[in-house]
Amino acid sequence: MSSKELETIVRYSRLQEEQQEGFFDVEEFSTIISHFISRYEIAKAQLALNQGLAQHPGSFELSMNRAYLNLCNGNPDACLKILGSLELVHPNNEEVLCMKAEAYGHRGDAAKGIRVLEALIRNPRQLDIIRPLVQ
C-alpha cells in the first residue's frame, strides 16, 4: 500500500470517527472500499461505497464495487442486475464479463458462466486483456 493510499484510509477513518463526511474522488473511494474488503470489514466497505455513490453516482468503478459487494454478500442476482446495467453502457467490458461469469458460478449456473467466458475469449484483443485477470 502506498503512502498516499494509507493517508486516504486514515483520513476517511478519522472523518468516520468524528461522524463527518469529506470529499473523496472515485479512486480514493475505491482504495477505501478495497481496504475494508481485504480486511473482511464488509459493513464498512458498504458504508464507504454508499458514500462514494452519493458523491459520484455515475461511476463505473464504484458500480463495479457495488456488484462485487453484492457477490460477497451472497447475492449473485443483485450483482448480475448491476452488471447488466453496466453492460448496456460498456458492452464487452472485460471486467464486467469476468465478474458476470463469476456471479453465474455463485448462482450455481456454471454452464452460463462458461459461455460468457467463451464468448469473451473469442476476441483476440480481449484475450490479451483478460489473461492477467484470470492467471
Tell me the C-alpha distance between 36 and 30, whole Å: 10
Can you give the pLDDT at residue 80? 98
Please report, for residues 44, 62, 91, 110, 116, the alpha-carbon distance to residue 13 in angstroms, rounded to integers and kept in the order given: 10, 19, 36, 39, 39
Can you give the pLDDT at residue 119? 85
Can you give the pLDDT at residue 120? 83
Can you give the pLDDT at residue 132? 62
Mean pLDDT by groups of 10 residues along the chain of 135 residues: 94 96 96 96 97 97 98 96 96 92 96 91 66 58
Can you give the pLDDT at residue 99? 96
Return the half-sphere exposure (C-beta side, CA atoms, 13 A cut-off) of residue 115. 5
Burial class (CB within 10 angstroms; exposed 0-12, middle 13-18, buried 19+) of 15: middle
Return the half-sphere exposure (C-beta side, CA atoms, 13 A cut-off) of residue 22. 15
Domain parsing of the chain, residue ranges: 1-57, 76-135
